[in-house]
Chain A
Amino acid sequence: MRHASLLTLAMAATWLMLSGYFIGMILTFGFISIILVVWMTKRLSILDNESVPYLNILKTCKYYIWLFIEIVKANIQVVKAVIGPNAEISPSLIKIPMHTDIDIAQTMFANSITLTPGTVSVDVQKDHILVHALLKEMSKPEDFYEMHCRSAKAVSIDLKDN
């Protein structure tokens, strides 16, 4: 019930923000579609913390701000590798250990790795991610641990062991 009301509130806010019309007919359409969507999610029984992640939206925003700064840093390194006069790259495949088996934390981590230029997650296994790294400075598996911790924290999930 708590999830259903949260979803209703979030969708109503989105509708009002994005439509910008406050005419009776449009609002009625919005009301009908919100009821329909909530009813369908309830029927599909996917109403849980994962589909309604609005409670930790502040943490996620904080994480994305941190990630954006990392993206800027990595971008500058890759630009140097592209247009630098003595440009040199050393591609490598590395295995990065993963300390969680919860889907959303894994998705968040693999997504962040791909989002940072210079590293692309190629294959996701149970306990590690296979990553293709472009530069030598980016190919140390222990450097990814901080991103792993932060991305797990952004979706309120604790990591297993160490």
Chain B
Amino acid sequence: MIIAFLSAVVLDSNLVWTEILQICLSCLAIASGLFFVLAGSIGVLRFPDFYTRLHAAGMTDTLGAELILIGLILQSGFTQTSLKLLMIGFFLLLTSPTATHAIAHSAHTANLKPKLGKHSFSKVQRDRS
């Protein structure tokens, strides 16, 4: 992505400053979206039980996906494609919590008890070693 960004900005000297701004903003949005997806996956591995892992997964499909979509919208500019991407973003806001709720509710119905109370990670790691 960085290579594409550099080649677009440096090699193409005909770019207007608005286009440079557009590329910069879209790169920034996609990069921060990727950061949230990464943090979500780390959370899924790191959290102690089923319910807490759901929270980390929820982070991936809200802000991670939305920021990547915003980046793509900025990249495609004011076209029909960006309108379609906007609609995908809106549908994600409706469908991803529904799926999360379905999973959480089925775990609750099956009497899976959540771990409650304080929990710190550093302690767990020390216990294991």
Contact = CB atoms under 8 A, between A and B. Distances in A.
Interface string B49-66: 101101110110011001
A123 B42 contact: no
Interface residues of A, number: 37
A130 to B, nearest CB: 7
A54 B84 CA distance: 19
A38 B105 CA distance: 34
Given A83-B42, A117-B55, A72 B116 contact: no
Nearest to B100: A114
A82 B108 CA distance: 24
Nearest to A90: B118
A134 interface: yes
A134 B105 contact: no
Given A120-B100, A123-B108, A132-B114, A91 B51 contact: yes
Nearest to B81: A20
Contacts of B52: 89, 91, 134
Given A81-B43, A91-B119, A132-B114, 20 more contacts: A18-B83, A64-B90, A72-B63, A75-B36, A78-B43, A79-B39, A79-B59, A82-B39, A82-B40, A82-B42, A82-B47, A87-B121, A88-B118, A89-B52, A89-B119, A91-B117, A115-B93, A116-B62, A118-B55, A120-B101
Interface of A: 17-18, 20, 64, 68, 71-72, 75, 78-79, 81-83, 86-93, 110-112, 114-123, 130, 132, 134
